Each structure stands twice: as structure tokens, then as C-alpha cells.
Amino acid sequence: MAQQSVRILEKGNIVFFYRPKKGVTHPQSPDDLERAFFALLPDDQEQHKNRLFNVAHGVLPAIVPGKALPEERDWAFVQDVSSNPRQVIDALEKERQAPPPAPGERVRPWARAAGEGRYALTKHQDHTHLAYWLHRPECPGEVQQEMQIRPEASYIISVKEPYAPSEIRLDKRPDYPESLRRKFDGHGWVAAEPTEFLDYPYAQVLLVGAETNVQRELGIALDPREENKASQIVLHMLEQEEKEASRQGVSVLEPLAQGRWE
């Protein structure tokens, strides 16, 4: 049962991804990655949109309970949103305009799935948390360890005022309606409440590592095995991509199934 001071604002499924750098067919560590991503696929598809987040430095922030260290925080931004979960994954695999690759190669390496489970966005006192519980891989391996994808974790999540400084330089800003813009009230960042803050492309968030035991911290737990309709659609898409990628000697699902770099 959730603590009295904790309120669940939104819940759904989460999927983690990474993309190798160009020219790296089989990465061996985070140094070989271009970027890390995670997708939030809400249960309530009428109220909330599916979002793809681009993590600034290729791994999630570390979490050292009871301490506040610089490496425990990182920026991410909403790369794409859609009411259709297929479009969010299509955006992840969208090819850039670039010189034609060599025969049989892609302009961009395949994005690999690195974990999936359940998430909750919660209000706790005067701040908001993004918490998740991992379902797969059943036995997290080197990929999850090195990307800081824990079996469960929570991050304090704050939304940046569009004109406030950050480490991420984007050409565009989120087109928030007046009702959301007013909530900043002169602050550089605010709690992610309402979660509609996250429904706008180019929205930037600051993630600060909080805890690796969500039930102890927030008093809530979700069944990581539960799959909503959007998650089922995305996982089916990944299975189809696995067939295409395998013809190029790549597995997009190996890290999700076995925790090994691919």
C-alpha cells in the first residue's frame, strides 16, 4: 500500500534502448554507444501520450542511496510523442539524411532493447518521482549493470523551464500551453505535475538518482510482468525488427533477453 504522502499520477510500461555509435556493429561498453533512450507507454492512452526520452550521456544516472553526487543526475529530453506507440518506435529507428551507406549497411545502427517493465510517476511531498520495476531480462547482465538499469529504481524528475539553461542544447523548445507555462512562475524547473508536461517534444527533464528500493522509499510496488496494450504493440514491433536485423548479423533483443552486449 502506498504511503499517505505518495500519490500515483500515472503508470504504465517502460522500455529501455541503446544505439551504438556509427560504425560500431557490436558494442562492448557504454563508450561504444551513441545514446540511451527509454519509452514511457502509459496505461491510460486517452489521457496520456507515449513518449520517447533521449538520455544525454548514454547511461542512466547512478544511484547511491543516502548520498548526493554529481554523477547521480543527468538530463534527458522528450524526443518524440504520439498517441500511437508504433510511431514512437518508428521515430527511434527513423533514418537520418546522410550519404548512402555501403551495401547491406544502415545509415544508423539498429537500436537495441535493453530492458522492459513497469513504471509509475508519483507525487511525493513537494517533488515527483519516476519509479520503475524491471521485468526483463530476468537476470540483468553486463548491459544493465553498465547502463545503470537497476532491477528497480526511482529518480526525482523535474521539468526544465523552456528558456532556463541546461547541458542539452536543442534547436526547438516545447510548445507548452499557457496553463503549463504559468506553473513555472519564475522557477528554472518544477515537479512533473501534471504529467502532461512530458507530452511535448523537446521537453527537458532532470533525473536525480533517489533509491533502489522503491517500496521502502515510496511504499508502492507494481507487477513488472504486467503488459498494457501499448507495450504489447511495441514488443511485437521489436520482434519483427529482430527478424530484419538478424539478416544483417545483429540482434536487437539479445540484451533484453540475456543482458549481453549486442
pLDDT, tens digit, 9 for 90 and up, residues 227-259: 999 999 999 999 999 999 999 899 999 999 999
Give the chain's domain count.
1
Most confidently modeled range among 53-67, 102-116, 165-179, 225-239: 225-239
For residue 89, being part of any structural domain is answered with yes
Query: Tens digits of per-residue pLDDT, 130-143?
Result: 999 999 999 999 99
148 vs 66, residue with greater confidence:
148
Distance CA 166, CA 73 (A): 12
Cα–chain center distance at 72: 16
What confidence tier does 189 reach under pLDDT thresholds 50, 70, 90? very high
For residue 80, being part of any structural domain is answered with yes
The domain containing residue 164 runs over which residues? 6-258
What confidence tier does 102 reach under pLDDT thresholds 50, 70, 90? low
Please name the residues in contact with 231: beta carbons below 8 A apart, sequence gap of 6 or more: 12, 13, 15, 41, 85, 116
For residue 1, being part of any structural domain is answered with no
For residue 41, being part of any structural domain is answered with yes
CA atoms within 13 A on the CB side of 246: 8
